[in-house]
Structure 1
């Protein structure tokens, strides 16, 4: 398994990147969001990867962060979600938005991705609800299990975990956080979410 690649970016498109590492050019499929964040050709770049091996093909899928990588692995664990669909989802939703959509039971958020219809979107939210809820409540992001091995949770994930620990339901907390600006500090996200939930009661 190739965990990550660091090398010179020698080619990139909206769906692929080629990294030259030790004289070998690795073709890596990337979500549109990752392609847009890559530096220019000739610059050094790092991609966290997932290697998919089938009878007729070996493909590498790359991500800008370990959290995206872990989210992708979680998504393709859902029945009916292959690597292409996982990439399509991460092209329109960040890992934090995936977690919040699953927590809130908002399956419609996934239908924005190419290849995801209503039935598959519902299956994604149903199959991942417990896994995402457990990981977020423990502040573990998408890795689950060992906190040391898990990717760091984003501010939105930490705010969601804080609200759940205050006694709010997972759905209530996720719906409140989903409307906020994820670039805010955790404390401000929690403050604004509490204010919005108090106003609705």
Structure 2
């Protein structure tokens, strides 16, 4: 419903940011990582997610579209609500979340306050299952072909798998990865790919 809000940042708390747009202040619950990227008194854009409940409407805002998409991916897991999604993304970047899921790294996910081992395992299980389904779909991993596939080597396959957790197909990211040094660390490849795709 509300894709984004753009305006002057007029107030922040430890978990929210208020953006004034045309005289209306929108209170967006957000992450520590987003709060670090914005400054009171400046014009900001937050990518938003509106959560509608029986007793409340909550607006969540993020500094990058990638962080928003990662948030939506996390809360798609059964038992993982918006508060848990914010907790994880306050502790980890989208790239770190993707890597943790792709490598079955329960310990990294449990670094987030309130996220126990069972929830972390469920996140990994459900999202890796989605990734596996994407791999056999028409838009999944089988979509890599031609020159892009030939250029994917080194750490690039791991980066492709991790980016798949964020919803990107190999067809989306392989051409970009083919232009990068595949010997770079996986997390760096992920970050550089997202930047080049204009999603950060």
**Number of the residue aligned with 1:177:** 186
The structural deviation recorded for 1:108 is 1.4
Q: Deviations over 1:124-146 (max 9, x none)?
A: 0000114356474496672447x
Q: Structure 2 unaligned runs (5+)? A: 135-139, 141-159, 194-200
Q: Distance in 2 between matches of 1:95 and 1:31?
A: 12
Residues 102 and 161, structure 2, Cα contact 8 Å, conserved in 1: no
Q: Distance in 2 between matches of 1:49 and 1:104?
A: 29
Secondary structure of the equivalent of 2:110? helix
**Number of the residue aligned with 1:84:** 83
Query: Normalising to structure 1: TM-score of the pair?
Result: 0.70
Secondary structure of the equivalent of 1:52? strand
Residues 102 and 132, structure 1, Cα contact 8 Å, conserved in 2: no
Is 2:19 the counterpart of 1:19?
A: yes
Q: Distance in 1 between matches of 2:162 and 2:108?
A: 24
Q: Aligned in 2, Cα 1:70/1:88: closer, same or farther, shift over 3 Å?
A: same
Q: What is the correspondence of 1:1-201 to structure 2 with a 5 Å cutoff?
A: 1-39=1-39, 41-132=40-131, 134=134, 136-137=160-161, 142-144=166-168, 158=177, 177=186
Equivalenced residue count is 164
Q: Aligned in 2, Cα 1:22/1:84: closer, same or farther, shift over 3 Å?
A: same
- RMSD of equivalent CA atoms: 3.2
Residues 101 and 107, structure 1, Cα contact 8 Å, conserved in 2: yes
Q: Structure 1 unaligned runs (5+)? A: 164-172, 187-201
Secondary structure of the equivalent of 1:62? strand
**Number of the residue aligned with 1:194:** none
Secondary structure of the equivalent of 1:112? coil
Q: Deviations over 1:69-111 (max 9, x none)?
A: 1000000000110000000000011111111100001111111
Residues 95 and 190, structure 2, Cα contact 8 Å, conserved in 1: no
**Number of the residue aligned with 2:152:** none
